[in-house]
Amino acid sequence: MLILNILLVLLGIFGNIILVNEVFEKNIEKGISKSIESVNYLDSIIYIGENIVNFVERDYRYMKKIPDDLLTTKDLVDDTFKMINENPNCFYNLYIACNGKVVGTRDERYINSNPIGREWYDLAISRGDLVITNPYEDIITKEKVITISKKIKDTNNCVVGLDIKQSEINSILNQMVREEESIAAGFILNREGVFVGHTNEIFIGKTIFDQSIDKQELIAPYIEDLLMKESGKIDFDNIGFPYSLIYHETKSEWHVVYVVDKAVMSTATNEYSKRLMITYILCVVLLNIVILVYYTKRQKAIRLQKRAEHAEKELRKYKEDLEVMVETKTEKIKIQSEKLKTLNIAIIDNLADIVEFRDLESGQHIKRIKRFTYILAKKVTELYPEYKIDEEKIDLLCNASALHDIGKIGISDSILLKPGKLTKEEFEEMKTHTIIGDNLVLRILENYDKYLAKIGHEICRYHHERFDGRGYPDGLKGDAIPICAQIVGIVDVYDALIEKRVYKEAFSHERAIQMINDGECGIFSPKLLHCLNLVEDEFYNISKMYE
């Protein structure tokens, strides 16, 4: 009992360690999620801003190329700012400056002001392409802004500039920090290491290399990673500082960085931890109570065990007697089943004999059909398991094959025994033997064996269907014809060819096989023809055995 309680204490300690590790992982996941979300926001703002600058740069060039164009620079700026107004919280002002003078702006206070020396103007002139400035203080409003600017092509010193409110960039960081308890702070760095945004606004515009920055000595070894890698995670656990930096790069080469306090538990997690501890204590108490109860009942259980052993002996003897009785009954049922099966086969064979006597066929015809069917079905099962013909189905198929022409009972003697070729009308009546046989088999066999009745139905009705759809009575095509009917169909044709009938002489085995392969008796499945050619020697031997 002491050992068990020690194990429970160890379990509680390890459980707490697992919970803390799980909290660490969850907080890191939240930090990664928020940094990606921030990157998407920033990419959206910069993408829209760059497109606006590109549109204005293009439209200004077109406007200057058309001498009589009545659109002024102010009109261009005003019209463009209507589009900017769809994002009023992000974009602040739009400029067009040429030859050291602002010639178009949304805010008239900037007209004719000198942009030379301003980063947005000088960088665009020197680089000749889109640039994004560091945060700076606007000369009129004194508000911190970031400007996207671009030199206008085919001009000497013309630049388009679009201001983004830095406070809007910072609001993204602050929102993410508010939403997640585990995120302690956040900042955005550009490629030069300048703080484009920071939850502590005093750092905005400063560089990460500045020694006055809080915890700069911890970050210093990782500055290159922060500025050069696309994304990553930096842990400070090894120095007793349970924080991690999660960072992701935007398309404008800014890096969004969040400081994640991995040890912070959310309100829900704290509540869960308390409930878990209460549950654990209750479990320990209850387990000790259970153990005490167990010991008090142990002696009673020992006494009951002896009674149970005696009862088990009696039960075992009863079971043995019951097994003997069941075995005897099973053997009787098996014998009766075999008798019933033999009776079914006898009924089928007698029905088939009736058809043979009417059709003036020899008594060997049915025996050959059943043997041919067995050999061909075995080969089909061996080569084409997709037809799912098992041993039991082969036996039923062979027995049912004897009834394939039972429908001829309903055909008049003048047609059935006619020595010459049948007329069209006579042949149409002859074809009805498939439907008559189908109805007879269902009525006779359904009360004996429903599965045998189903196979008999498929054989009687469809054994004259052909693979190309030119058979009868339903014109089935391909494998829409039941495989049982396909097998009996090809066997029936072979036997009809090698046997003398009132309307023809017997063909040789070789000629019969050739006629079937050449499609002279209708088109059969290529798979069945392949099987027939493999077993033709066995067919020949059977035809001689029952000649």
Q: What one-character-per-residue DSSP string does 420-461 give?
A: SPPPHHHHHHHHTHHHHHHHHHHHHHTTT-HHHHHHHHHHHH
Which of 240, 261, 282 delimits the end of a domain?
A: 261
Tell me what pLDDT residue 337 has. Answer: 47
Give residue 343's pLDDT band: very low, low, confident or very high (50, 70, 90). very low
Per-residue confidence (pLDDT) for residue 497, from 0 to 100: 94
Q: How far apart are CA 511 and CA 497, in angstroms?
A: 9
Same domain, 255 and 397: no
- The pLDDT-based confidence of 493 (bands split at 50, 70, 90) is very high
Average predicted confidence (pLDDT) for the chain = 83
In this prediction, residue 80 has a pLDDT band, given cuts at 50, 70 and 90, of: confident
Average pLDDT of the residues in 334-360? 53
Q: How many domains does the chain have?
A: 3
Q: What is the pLDDT of residue 10?
A: 67
Q: End of a domain among 261, 290, 312?
A: 261
Domain range holding 207? 169-261
CA gap 30, 244 in Å, rounded? 12
CATH number reported for the structural domain that contains residue 247 in this entry: 3.30.450.20
Residue 474 is predicted with a pLDDT of 95
**CA distance to 96, 122, 157, 281, 305, per residue, from 128 (Å):** 15, 10, 10, 71, 97
Residues 89 and 115 in one domain: yes
Q: Are residues 132 and 203 both part of a single domain? A: no
Q: Is the pLDDT of residue 82 over 80?
A: no
Which carries the bigger pLDDT value, residue 88 or residue 526?
A: 526
> Where residue 134 falls among pLDDT bands split at 50, 70, 90?
very high
pLDDT exceeds 60 at position 350? no
Residue 353 scores a pLDDT above 80: no
Residue 360 has pLDDT above 80, yes or no: no
- From the list 109, 86, 89, 104, the residue with the least C-alpha distance to 161 is 104
- The verdict on 362 and 511 lying in the same domain is yes
- Are 466 and 481 within one domain? yes
Please give the Cα distance from 407 to 409 (Å, whole number): 5
Q: What is the mean pLDDT of residues 190-208?
A: 89
Q: What is the mean pLDDT of residues 88-109?
A: 84
Beta bridge partners, 259, equal 185, 245
For the ranges 7-16, 93-102, 139-148, the lowest mean pLDDT is seen at 7-16
Residue 72 in this model has a pLDDT that exceeds 90 = no
Segment 52-64 shows an average pLDDT of: 84
Name the band, by pLDDT with cuts 50, 70 and 90, for residue 267: low
| Choice between 429 and 93, residue whose per-residue pLDDT is larger | 429
Strand duo 255-261 + 91-98: pairing = unpaired
Could you tell me the pLDDT band of residue 284, with boundaries at 50, 70 and 90? low
Q: What is the pTM of this model?
A: 0.47
Q: Across the chain, how many H-helices and E-strands are there?
A: 17, 11
What pLDDT score was predicted for residue 194?
92
Does residue 309 fall inside a structural domain? Answer: no
Q: Which H/E stretch holds residue 96?
A: strand 91-98
Res. 530: pLDDT tops 90: yes
What confidence score (pLDDT) does residue 270 get? 57
Based on the fold, state whether residues 524 and 436 are members of the same structural domain. Answer: yes
- Looking at the fold, whether 365 and 418 belong to one and the same domain comes out as yes
Tokens 């700026």 appear where? Answer: 77
Q: 357 or 144: which carries more pLDDT confidence?
A: 144
Unique residue bearing structure tokens 């196979």: 455
Q: What is the pLDDT of residue 217?
A: 77
Average the pLDDT over 122-128 and give the result. Answer: 90
Cα 298 to chain centroid distance, Å, stands at 55
Residue finishing a domain among 217, 244, 261: 261
Residues 147 and 249 in one domain: no
pLDDT at 385 over 90: yes
Name the band, by pLDDT with cuts 50, 70 and 90, for residue 276: low
Q: Are residues 173 and 157 in the same domain?
A: no
pLDDT higher than threshold 90 for residue 221: no
- 295, part of any domain: no
Q: Nearest to residue 115, comparing CAs of 106, 104, 127?
A: 104
Q: Is residue 225 part of a domain?
A: yes
Give the pLDDT score at 362: 47
152 shares a domain with 244: no
pLDDT in tens, 428-462: 999 999 999 999 998 888 877 888 899 999 999 99
